Structure 1
Amino acid sequence: MKNDDWIQWRFGNTLIAEINKRDDRITVYDDVLDGRFRNRLKLDKQTGSLTITDIRTEHAGDYKLQTNSVEKSFNLFVFVEISVLEGDSVTLNSDLTEMKDDDLIQWRFLTEMTLIAEINVTADRITVYDDVLDGRFRDRLKLDKQTGSLTITNITTEYAGLYTLLINSAWKFFILHVFVEISVKEGDSVTLNSDLTKIDVDVIQWRFWTENTVIAEINKQVDRITVYDDVLDGRFRDRLKLDNQTGSLTITDVTDEHAGDYVLIIMTTKQSLKVFRVSVYGELLKINNDTIFFKSCCAAKIIYQLSL
């Protein structure tokens, strides 16, 4: 910033931070708006950039930067990220305690741009559109008439994606990850199924999500199949097999360092995700009808402790 520069940051129409170089003044107004920004604003005195820490959905909205030479606007979306195991239920919370007389709530499965539920208090109407999208939500949606929160029961991977809640004119966004849970014995192989019968998409990419690392991909656009088995200190070396017809991934001779979360990203006209949580167990030992998991290297120690 130059000696005569000034910068103002606004959330909507509310001033939240400013720098006046001429008066050598830096001010953060983090107690405005019921203190939602308290202890969360950091203003860079050299560049004037504004950082918001520990983001909440109440911080979503329109931000405006105004200086003595330029104006710039930002629209900030805040996603609530939820992970759930296949077969479980999940509730997407509206954060309302009760609805007002003129409230309108609409839930959309935004991945498919489809309205799936709504409450119109003025018309005294509650509607669940569970027959849309080939009936994938049929008998699985429960809408709380007091709060507007939406519960999805008996989750499968086809429910993973982006959901939006519109309350009158305010938005709330949810990203739902659905995990397929797989247990595999150490030394065995495990196959992560893509559920595709043939590859008619642009790109299939496998990531070891625990380390956010690409380990395999098929790119149909350039007709290339690649296995990155030397990443992560070579823990996957000579262990990855990628099915060139379905895109399914097999990991052979599994050890506990292969345990974790894997994500399949399918890219075509739109992107879809499938997530796997792999756990690795050791040998089985039966003592007094109880089953105990252990690694062979620790077997003698465990038996000794149990005998005591």
Structure 2
Amino acid sequence: MKMLLLRYSTAFICAVFIITGAVSGEDKAVGQTVSFRPDKIVTPVSSIIWKHRSSTGSVVKAIEWDVDDGDNIPNPRFKGITTLDQKTGEITITKLTVEHSGVYTIDINSKEHEQRFTLNVMERVPKPEITIEESSNPDVVYLRCAYSEKIIWKKSSGETLNGMKNQDPGEFITVKNTRNPENFYTCTLKNAVSEEISDPVTERELFGTGEDKAVGQTVSFRPDKIVPPVSSIIWKHRSSTGSVIKVIEWDAEDGDNIPNPRFKGITTLDEKTGEITITKLTVEHSGVYTIDINGKEHEQRFTLTVMERVSKPKMTIEVSSNPDVVYLRCAYSEKIIWKNSSGETLEGKKNHELGEFITVENTGNPENFYTCTLKNAVSEEISDPVSEREIFRTGEDKAVGQTVSFRPDKIVTPVSSIIWKHRSSTGSVVKAIEWDVDDGDNIPNPRFKGITTLDRKTGQITITNLIIEHSGVYTIDINSKEQEQRFTLTVMERVPKPKMTIEVSSNPDVAYLRCAYNEMIIWKNSSGETLNGTKNHDPGEYIMVKNTRNPENFYTCTLKNAVSEEISDPVTEREIFGTGSNAGMIVAIVIVVFIVIAVIAIVLSYLIMKTVHESVNNICPCIPNIFGPLDCLLKKTDREPKNSAPNDVASPLNETAP
């Protein structure tokens, strides 16, 4: 059984390898061109035949060639569009149609090659159209993109939205009124060979006319049409609380009237066009405006949202326990957009305090910077940038024995003196090297003698043969004035090559691999997957490994610090679990063997031992076969014997109970 399973598994693996290794495919649009070429062609070649297998399973010759007759295209589907290169065996088909889809194979010198070439020809998608479906909520609509291909929804910010599939072909999304009439939506139809984007649909089209204004600005609303003669006009305002008041009214006899104090001195009306204009807007002017002409309310609704302008944000830096990680906080309740210097938009995490924060890791590039943007519908403000130089200060990580150079950003001539100072982790400060125009170079500290040089023109210091004691912060004084720049140097030993130890567990199919070192550890398996190690009290980390029954599967661990990296020798499952570990099956087999032995012993006792045979027959009067005693015994244990009392001797088999 085990050999059969092994054979089956091997056959399955081989089959997968053959199929996946020998098949290549192409997706093409109708009208395009495709070429297929065999991996290798052994000369001399006397004949070539390309065959096509359709999705229905029918096989036809697409093109054939032999050294005597030349090319021949026996199937009309390929005539006039198919060519063959006899030297390379490459077939080329132009003006593809959907019927050309299928699997192509090649015979060379009457022998079919293993390679399979899959071709999928499909129509290009059409340009989609978006349809608008209203909902019971006037601030919500449904946009439908009715097509069965892959659909990509996008809004004007570039954000990709998730559509919901329904029973009709295509997808729909729910759109809420953001009060930005210029905000728009598109849907994209896409297949493997083409992509089409619909015309945009704006919120102005979805929800009607609306305006977002900043405090202090001016707004005007005008009805689409006004039919003369006009005898009266009334503009009304509905606030967010639902209260309705008259903003301004006019009639042919009395002229203008502004009954509500909130709009006095800032509101005017054009009787000819019906247009209302409100200046010096405040937040209280937000709401929905309607117009009555000649005593009849028009259907048009004009939405106004007045909001404060956002202030210029400021970023605050919050340190973490990791010196190479900080948190940047943009503390404001408006919409926040995070960006880095590459223009990439980053996702901030909301927390209990107002605003958002992002986690920033030290990339080692002091010029890399971050900004945050506060934005609402009427204004936008960007913070001053914060660079990694400000966040982490300029620094270098070096290995023992390497070389480092530090140079100030700028040096203003003339320069009469330069002093580089070193502050160690204990806080002590020494001069690393100094120079002045009169005395030249001087290296007062023995730690830097013979390994330190200075470029007087650029101010650059270079230190060779670094040791751990050179770690610290370096500063430069130019013309006796200390510069603001700080240069952090960390010198560390290279990591050694790690060794893995195997620790067994109570489960024979589980072991622990330990990589005992306190540097950064990276675990990997043979597929290249990175695994998460668990820290423990001992130095280093360990991972739990389960027996996958693949003895060639292996694991490595990598020790890594900022200046070096070493990978352990691999440890295979053969080394961890042995070549034939199958503890569960062994235990099951042992139990089954014991049960079988016990049954055999009982049966043999009945057949061979007279006392056992007689005892069983005394209890069980009728025994149809050798398995009857067992069944009978089980039944007898549940009730009193028919022919005996507690103190009586059992009756003979041929007697009947009284």
TM-score, normalising length: structure 2:
0.20
Q: Which has the higher strand share?
A: 1
| Higher RCO (Cα < 8 Å, 6 or more apart) | 1
TM-score, normalising length: structure 1:
0.40
Larger radius of gyration: 2
Q: Which has the higher helix share?
A: 2
